[in-house]
Chain A
Amino acid sequence: MSEPQTQTQSAPPKRSFLQTLEIDTRLLGMIGAFLLVALVFNVLTDGRFLTPRNIFNLTIQTASVAIMATGMVFVIVTRHIDLSVGAILAACSALMAMTQVRFLPGTLGLEIGHWAIPWIAIAAGLALGTLIGAFNGWLIGYQGIPAFIVTLGGFLVWRNVGWYQTGGQTIGPLDQTFMTFGGINGTLGGPLSWALGVLAILFTAFAIYNSRRTKVKHGFPVKPLWAEVTLAAIACGAIAGFIAILTHYSVPSRVVARDPARFGCEVAEGCTPVYGLPISVLLLIGVAAVMTVIARRTRFGRYIFATGGNPDAAELSGINTRMLTVKIFALMGALCALAAVVASSRLANHSNDLGTLDELRVIAAAVIGGTALSGGIGTIYGAILGALIMQSLQSGMAMVGVDAPLQNIVVGAVLVFAVFIDIQYRKRLGGK
Chain B
Amino acid sequence: MAAPLVEMKDVSIAFGGVQAVDKVSITLNAGEVVGLLGHNGAGKSTLIKMLSGAYKMDSGEIFINGKKVTINSPRDARDQNIETIYQTLALADNLDAASNLFLGRELTNAFGFVDDDRMEAETRKIMARLNPNFKKLKEPVSALSGGQRQSVAIARAVYFNAKILIMDEPTAALGVHETAMVAELIQELKKQGLGIFLISHDTREMMELCDRVAVMKNGQMVGTERVEDVTEDDILSMIILGKNPKAAA
Contact = CB atoms under 8 A, between A and B. Distances in A.
Interface string B89-101: 1111111000110
Given A306-B92, A317-B103, A318-B73, A2 B125 contact: yes
Contact of A297 (B92, B104, B113): B113
Nearest to B102: A302
B86 interface: yes
B17 interface: no
A400 interface: no
Contacts of A1: 129
A319 to B, nearest CB: 6
A309 B89 CA distance: 13
Contact of A299 (B89, B108, B129): B108
Interface residues of B, number: 40
A8 B129 contact: no
A219 B106 CA distance: 21
Interface residues of A, number: 36
Given A298-B114, A310-B90, A7 B135 contact: yes
Nearest to A317: B104
B124 A318 contact: no
Contacts, number: 97
A305 B95 contact: yes
A209 interface: no
B78 interface: yes
Given A218-B121, A298-B114, A318-B75, A305 B128 contact: no
A220 B54 CA distance: 37
Which among A316, A376, A377 has the highest number of chain B CB atoms within 10 Å? A316
Nearest to B139: A431
Contacts of B145: none
B113 A305 contact: no
Contacts of B86: 316
A8 B92 contact: no
Interface string B63-103: 00000000001110010000010101111111100011001
A296 B78 CA distance: 25
B120 A310 contact: no
A302 B91 contact: no
B16 interface: no
A218 B120 contact: yes
A377 B94 contact: yes
Contacts of A317: 74, 90, 103-104
Contact of B114 (A3, A8, A297): A297
A385 to B, nearest CB: 20
Contact of B90 (A3, A7, A316, A432): A316
16 contacts: A1-B129, A215-B117, A220-B120, A302-B95, A302-B99, A302-B114, A310-B92, A312-B90, A313-B89, A313-B92, A313-B103, A316-B86, A317-B103, A318-B105, A319-B103, A431-B142
Given A299-B108, A377-B94, 12 more contacts: A7-B132, A305-B95, A306-B99, A308-B94, A309-B93, A309-B95, A310-B92, A312-B88, A316-B84, A316-B90, A317-B104, A376-B92
Interface of B: 52, 54, 73-75, 78, 84, 86, 88-95, 99-100, 103-106, 108, 112-114, 117-118, 120-121, 124-125, 128-129, 132-133, 135, 140, 142-143
Interface of A: 1-3, 5, 7-8, 214-215, 218-220, 293, 297-299, 302-303, 305-310, 312-319, 376-377, 430-432
